[in-house]
């Protein structure tokens, strides 16, 4: 089993050359080089050039590199997409995906571009919440590129009036619907950003909440947020040890024919051994890169 850790997914404005440079040394699992909301209209072209130069120059090591383009219905979207395809990042992040055809439109424009270039979808519109299952299902098609959902909680707040404060209670249904849609079709899913980047306690609470929802990681806006996300979205030592115990128990000859066993007073089923294998694979993938 191979798992790609996506505990910490850091956005940076494509217009900020210093951030693009600094990212080569930061301990984030993935980087989103942004052309959309973090870049003002009059520096869109400059940002596009800087991002493409940075991706071509490389040096990002194990970090997954993702370019977020402007929507195809904006003056910049088509040029962003063409430039991103040439730059060959690991993935292109498409903003405001609201229905399956939004994914097909982008893949259509990508044509025969390198199949290694995947698509990530921003889940951030009210319609996108209602159509999450249909959007995720595009991953099942032959030649599909969609591999991940990214929650856009700031846009959801803007479009609906639901608040980001108080445990995001107005958004819980959308977060869990998107997790279900992603899991139903084998996609990764990363939680939305925590804007108050000096508030460590608040960030930790929201990482824990996202983790408990089943998110693979969290999108971040500042390097100071990386360590908390890396820690909280990774299994800790005790979890890994417990997972190894479960795997070992099912490997014993006396348990070979059993579906459920007693492990130190707890019922453990074969599905727990599958979950344990995932935990161990994630832990190994993380330690393999450090």
Contact set with ligand COA (CB under 6 A):
10-13, 18-19, 22-23, 34, 37-38, 193, 221-223
The residue (of 27 and 134) whose beta carbon lies closer to ligand COA is 27
**Which 8-state DSSP code applies to residue 124?**
-
Partner in contact with 158, chosen from Mg ion, ligand COA, none, beta carbon below 5 to 8 Å by kind: none
The binder of 13, among ligand COA, Mg ion, none, by C-beta within 5 to 8 A per type, is ligand COA
| Dihedral angle over CA of 138, 141, 142, 146, nearest 10 | 20
CA-CA-CA-CA torsion for 186, 190, 192, 193, nearest 10 degrees? Answer: -170
Q: Would you tell me which residues interact with Mg ion (CB under 5 A)?
A: 124, 152, 155
Work out how close the CB of 221 gets to ligand COA at its nearest, in angstroms, rounded to a whole number: 4
User: Closest approach of Cβ 138 to ligand COA, in Å?
Assistant: 24
Q: How far is the CB of 34 from ligand COA (least distance, A)?
A: 5
155 interacts with, out of ligand COA, Mg ion, none, CB within 5 to 8 A per kind: Mg ion
Nearer to Mg ion, 89 or 152 (CB): 152
State how far the Cα of 53 lies from the Cα of 49, in Å rounded to an integer. 6
Q: What's the CA gap between 41 and 1, in Å, rounded?
A: 43
Q: Which residue bears the tokens 């492990």?
A: 263
CB 282 within 8 A of CB 235: yes
Instruction: State how far the alpha carbon of 163 is from the alpha carbons of 112, 172, 185, in Å.
Output: 41, 11, 29
Tell me whether residue 128 or residue 223 sits nearer to Mg ion (CB atom): 128
Q: Which does 221 bind (CB under 5 to 8 A by kind): Mg ion, ligand COA, none?
A: ligand COA
The helix (H) or strand (E) run that includes residue 220 is strand 217-220
Nearest to 124 by CA among 98, 162, 148: 98
Tell me the closest approach of the beta carbon of residue 262 to ligand COA, in angstroms.
Answer: 48
Closest contact distance (angstroms) between CB of 11 and Mg ion is 10
Total Cβ atoms within 10 A of residue 275: 13
Q: How many CB atoms lie within 10 A of CB 159?
A: 16
Nearest-approach distance from CB 193 to ligand COA, in angstroms: 5
- The entry of ligand COA, Mg ion, none near residue 189 (CB within 5 to 8 angstroms by kind) is none
Closer of 5 and 192 to ligand COA (Cβ)? 192
Which of the choices Mg ion, ligand COA, none does residue 223 contact, using the CB cut-off of 5 to 8 A by kind?
Answer: ligand COA
């Amino acid at each position: 089993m191979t798992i790609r850790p996506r505990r910490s997914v850091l956005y940076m404005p494509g217009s900020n050359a210093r951030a693009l440079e600094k990212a080569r040394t930061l301990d984030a699992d993935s980087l989103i080089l942004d052309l959309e909301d973090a870049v003002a209209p009059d520096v869109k072209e400059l940002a596009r050039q800087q991002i493409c130069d940075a991706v071509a120059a490389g040096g990002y090591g194990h970090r997954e590199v993702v370019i977020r383009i402007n929507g195809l219905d904006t003056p910049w979207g088509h040029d962003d997409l063409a430039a991103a395809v040439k730059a060959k990042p690991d993935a292109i992040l498409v903003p405001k995906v609201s229905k399956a055809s939004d994914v097909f439109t982008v893949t259509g424009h990508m044509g025969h571009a390198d199949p290694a270039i995947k698509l990530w979808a921003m889940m951030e519109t009210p319609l996108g919440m209602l159509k999450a299952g249909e959007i995720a299902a595009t991953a099942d098609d032959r030649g599909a590129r969609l591999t991940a959902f990214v929650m856009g909680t700031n846009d959801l707040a803007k479009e609906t009036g639901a608040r980001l404060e108080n445990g995001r209670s107005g958004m819980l249904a959308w977060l869990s619907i998107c997790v279900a849609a992603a899991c139903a079709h084998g996609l990764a899913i990363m939680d939305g950003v925590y804007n108050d980047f000096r508030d460590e306690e608040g960030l930790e609470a929201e990482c824990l909440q996202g983790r408990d929802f089943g998110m693979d990681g969290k999108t971040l806006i500042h390097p100071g947020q990386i360590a908390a996300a890396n820690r909280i979205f990774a299994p800790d030592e005790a979890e890994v040890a417990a997972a190894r115990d479960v795997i070992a128990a099912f490997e014993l000859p006396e348990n070979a024919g059993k579906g459920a066993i007693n492990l130190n007073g707890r019922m453990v089923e074969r599905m727990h051994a599958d979950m344990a294998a995932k935990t161990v694979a994630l832990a190994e993938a993380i330690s393999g890169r450090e």
